[in-house]
Structure 1
Amino acid sequence: MGETINEKQPIFSADADIRISATPIEVYAVISDLPRSGEWSPECLGGEWTVGEPAAVGSVFRGDNLRGDDIVAWAPVVRGRWTTQSEVVTAEPGRTFRWAIHNSDGQKQESIWGFDIEAAEGGGSLLTHHFRMDSATQGIKGITAEMDAAEKQRFFAEWGDKISGDLAASLQRIKAVVEEA
């Protein structure tokens, strides 16, 4: 098996959306403040900007993360606490905010998380949270290195479901944070 299940598609691609009773600029102010991500992310506890102006293209964010033992429990994924380095790749206030996860050498990988915001008809905003991984990251290569084809197929299916659930959960929490402000 190659780096993807189907060479014509990304390894992972998921999105979810939600309507929020706030302007796109108000929503953007929250979702681009990555140190606050512990308020909504199922895994990221927050973190800090380590390079550049907060939320600007090229800035780097160190995320502090926590994953329980029950997440795809049979696979050798990182458990407990760990950190990630992410680089902002798109920052358009009121429109879009995206970041790429770095590998251990500090290079951007094809693992992009982000948000798109648009004004909703009748007021408020439509917030879309998305994730896309076009080729296997350093982490995915390590996780799947000892797996046979059937195990890889199972892992990609279960991990994809986990990502989709995390996106939806994050949006529900972001909605609550923004609308309670």
Structure 2
Amino acid sequence: MAKATTAGDTSPASAGSAGQEPLFQLSASVHVTAPPEKVYALVSDMERSREWSPECTGGSWSSGLPGTVGAVFRGENLRSGDVVAWAPVVRGTWFTECEVIAADPGHTFQWSMRNSTGVKQDSVWAYDIEPADGGSTLTHRFRMGSATEGIQGITAEMDDETRKRFFAEWSNKLALDLLVTLKRIKRVVEGPTREG
């Protein structure tokens, strides 16, 4: 069973302020009956992320040696209209660029989202893997220290109360995404079970 935790002050006033908590800081973990090396090989293959991501539908490496630090992945994503439906978030198909910032086989794989000019933002997704109980504990993490270009655009016209509501609902959406992702990865690694 996957479990999620959240941390940090998601109030817009604290976002990006020196000495303040990250805007978003979430993680979820699941036990997988496979060795860390096998789990790492799977989660670091970003072209396969469409098999488990709630939004990524595909993509390809655009520069660098795939899966190594500095390599850039261009992802294709799809977001439905019911995701925080009242907020002005991107709907339908949209694209992202991310850069691998850590690649330690069997241990951790991390990438940072880039802005429209190709600069890494303070927005990092990660998989951490540890041996446990004859298999592995896989932890999926997301941290946004300060608002990205996208979040700034979404919240630009919001007043404080609306912004606070958005950050709370978006945090819930992210927490669910982490859990869904881990459940799907577990299924890919272990194969389907009777519980589905």
Relative to the length of structure 1, the TM-score reads: 0.96
Runs in 1 of length 4+ with deviation above 3 angstroms?
Answer: none
Partner of 1:135: 146
1:3-14 alignment runs, 5 A limit: 4=15, 8-14=20-26
Residue-by-residue CA offset, 1:105-124 (whole Å, 9 max, x unaligned):
0000000001000000x310
| 3-state secondary structure, aligned to 1:94 | coil
Partner of 2:177: 166
1:16-165 alignment runs, 5 A limit: 16-120=28-132, 122-165=133-176
AA aligned opposite 1:152: R
Structure 1 unmatched runs, 5+:
none
Identity %: 56
In 2, Cα distance between the equivalents of 1:77 and 1:3?
21
In 1, Cα distance between the equivalents of 2:127 and 2:27?
9
AA aligned opposite 1:154: R
How many residue pairs get matched? 180
Relative to the length of structure 2, the TM-score reads: 0.89
In 2, Cα distance between the equivalents of 1:30 and 1:70?
30
Residue-by-residue CA offset, 1:48-81 (whole Å, 9 max, x unaligned):
0000111000000000000000000000000000
Structure 2 unmatched runs, 5+:
1-11
In 2, Cα distance between the equivalents of 1:3 and 1:84?
26
| 3-state secondary structure, aligned to 2:78 | strand
CA RMSD of aligned residues (A): 1.5
The answer to whether the 8 Å contact 2:100/2:111 transfers is yes
